[in-house]
A and B are shown apart, each in its own frame.
Chain A
Amino acid sequence: MFRRWFSAGIATRRLVVLFCAAVLLVALAVRYPDAFHDANDTARANAALDQVDRAVGAGNSVFPDQALLVEARGLIPPDESFAVAVGPPQPGWTDLTANGADLFLRSFLLPRRLDPEARWIVCVGCDRNDYPGADAVWEGEDGLSVLRRES
């Protein structure tokens, strides 16, 4: 058997295959435990979050206070529309607040549609004088509020 193996190039090509398999196995021995631990760590980290943190997801990085998202979802009926008004950046805002708030709210609040003339206004540090007659239905910190105006 060994004579046959080492004759006429069989050994060479099989050694190449064995080499490839060995490299794959060594790499797998290094990578598998890491990938397995990473998946378990992520599972533990996700389980440690509360339901609101999970539901808000990336919103925690966009807004200084997740309460705005929770309140907007609770106050604005699903079949109504809303406007987003973003003012100048304020202390406490994240790097993403000014530029990402509008898009995140449009995504998060679906099926509520975006409409600049809507009765509901999600105010992110906006100037309330721009919305005369609008009442604050909810007010938080860092200039966050939900306003409603008469239709």
Chain B
Amino acid sequence: MTARAILGLAALNGAYAVLGVALLWAIRGLPRWTDVLRLAGLGYLLGVAAFGVVWTQLLVVGVPLGGWGVVLSLACGTSAAAFAAVLLGRQRPRGFGDPERHASPFAVLVTAAGVSLSGLLLEALFRSARLQGLQAYDAWAFWVPKGKAIYFFGGLDEQVFTTFPGPTYPPLVPILDAASFHAMGGADTITFHLQFWFFVLGAVAAIAGLLYRHVSAWLLWPALLLVLTVPRVASHLLVPQADVLVDIFFVVGALLVALWVRDGRGWRLAGAAAVFAGASVTKREGLLFAAAALVVALAASFGRRRVAWPSLVAVGALVAVAAIPWRLWYRSHGLGGEAPSDAVLGGSLDRVLDSLRLSADAFFDTTLWSVVPVVALIAVGAALVWGDRRLGAFVAALLGLVFLGGAWVTYSYRDIPITANESVNPIVRYTGALVLLAAVTMPLLLTSVWRSRTEEPP
């Protein structure tokens, strides 16, 4: 660990944030500096996703990734986004304050407490990450070697990418690892854990910033803090694998789509397209998550399908365009596909029921997720009865579909035993996305119930 490595990582992640904020300026406009601050976390994730998606395609066509390549791509991407913003007539941010939200002293106090508690926890995680050795099997067995291969050899080295375990796993995380090695000045597999700390920081900022205008602070912070501290999430936040990042991309994308279902603002879909594309080249289930969110969004926007569906189809097409080249690359190198042995039918009914039961057990396991799933289901039910029913139905359908997706994974890969043992069945890892989604949509649902006027007396 050196100060130079930490500064390099901070600069790299700052550059991701600048790229993403420039993208937000282009697609949304940022009229005030308050908007820039509020959406900086979302901007950071958009920057990470855009960088990873673009470099996935570049590596597939053989463009080498080097230190200057990282710098140039970030600089060119930021310039292009800023140029697009100017072309689209976006004004430069001016002034502070938030005319769309007048926070009460109580809300300010709760927000200050939430930010302080998050900050304390993140500070402890920072100290933990900066001196962390590489321990997790998947991390040293293939995620990090792939990152090292891109760093040392400049591309998708055939020996490493085809003979190490998990050869079909997409390369976004190894690309980000390689970029962090360049930023640190070497393949420092200790300090690079901080890269995963930055993802967590960005996710907390993105979720809080996205929800700030839409939910009450006293409903936002308990849910957000709790999901960070539940045993399974807290113990895996900094593991240098793709699981946390794919969950973050999916949940932030789903949140953007949920808000779009409510207000129809097009920039939210553009943002969702970027993070879903990122998810599709982060892990295989990223494609499944993105497809589930888009299918539910199609159903939720049926009433305004003429306007909404072309946009959703465009998002789906962009995700597909991002995901396909990597699949073509590994197929062209003789690797088998990701398709399961019993994709639809062929397994027994017993296995279907066992898979569903295993998914339910994993979701409601309070030793892993505390009370998050139970409270989330109450929130969904309350929203369906008293609150924003369309939002409630969207969240319920998405949770249901992703839940079924997990059961389908266990059912369809015949060699996966019916067990929650993480070394042989990915269901617990997979369920993390479901729990994170439940936690971040909970404040939206509960706020809609609290503020609902449907049953108030005239």
* A contact residues around B153 at 8 Å (CB): 111
Neighbour of B225 across the interface among A32, A53, A56, A108, CB < 8 A: A32
Q: Are B125 and A110 in contact (CB under 8 A)?
A: no
Chain B contact surface mostly: helix
Q: Are A110 and B148 in contact (CB under 8 A)?
A: yes
Q: Are A16 and B144 in contact (CB under 8 A)?
A: no
Interface assignment of A114: CB less than 8 Å from any CB of chain B: yes
Neighbour of B131 across the interface among A27, A28, A34, A47, CB < 8 A: A47
A129 and B226 alpha carbons, distance in the complex (Å): 60
A28 and B136 alpha carbons, distance in the complex (Å): 27
Q: How far is the CB of B245 from chain A (nearest CB, A)?
A: 19
Q: How far is the CB of A7 from chain B (nearest CB, A)?
A: 6
Interface assignment of B397: CB less than 8 Å from any CB of chain A: no
Q: Are B159 and A113 in contact (CB under 8 A)?
A: yes
* A contact residues around B120 at 8 Å (CB): 36
For A79-108 the 0/1 string (1 means CB < 8 A from B) is: 000000000000000000000000110111
**Which of B22-30, B371-379, B404-412 forms contacts with chain A?**
B371-379
Give the residue name and chain of the A residue nearest to B230 (CB). A31
Q: Are B219 and A114 in contact (CB under 8 A)?
A: no
Interface assignment of B89: CB less than 8 Å from any CB of chain A: no
A40 and B122 alpha carbons, distance in the complex (Å): 11
Report if A13-B452 is in contact (Cβ < 8 Å); known contacts: A35-B228, A113-B159.
Answer: yes
A32 and B113 alpha carbons, distance in the complex (Å): 13
Report if A46-B386 is in contact (Cβ < 8 Å); known contacts: A31-B229, A110-B145.
Answer: no
For A31-47 the 0/1 string (1 means CB < 8 A from B) is: 11011101110110011
Q: Are A107 and B131 in contact (CB under 8 A)?
A: no
Neighbour of A55 across the interface among B190, B235, B375, CB < 8 A: B190
Q: Are B455 and A32 in contact (CB under 8 A)?
A: no
Q: Are B235 and A10 in contact (CB under 8 A)?
A: no
Interface assignment of A24: CB less than 8 Å from any CB of chain B: yes
Give the residue name and chain of the B residue nearest to A112 (CB). B152
Interface assignment of A137: CB less than 8 Å from any CB of chain B: no
Report if A107-B145 is in contact (Cβ < 8 Å); known contacts: A21-B218, A24-B226, A55-B133.
Answer: yes
Q: Which of B363-418 contact A (CB under 8 A)?
A: 370-372, 375, 378-379, 382, 385-387
24 inter-chain pairs at a CB distance below 8 angstroms, sorted by A residue, are: A7-B457, A8-B456, A10-B456, A13-B387, A14-B449, A19-B378, A21-B218, A21-B219, A24-B371, A28-B225, A32-B225, A38-B235, A39-B121, A39-B128, A46-B131, A47-B127, A56-B133, A103-B164, A103-B165, A107-B140, A107-B142, A107-B148, A111-B153, A113-B159
Q: Which 10 A-B pairs have the closest CB atoms?
A: A57-B133, A111-B152, A39-B124, A35-B229, A57-B134, A43-B127, A46-B131, A24-B222, A13-B386, A43-B128
15 extra A-B contacts, CB within 8 A, seeds A36-B229, A43-B124: A16-B378, A16-B382, A20-B379, A20-B382, A24-B226, A24-B375, A27-B372, A31-B226, A39-B234, A47-B127, A55-B189, A58-B133, A103-B141, A104-B140, A110-B149
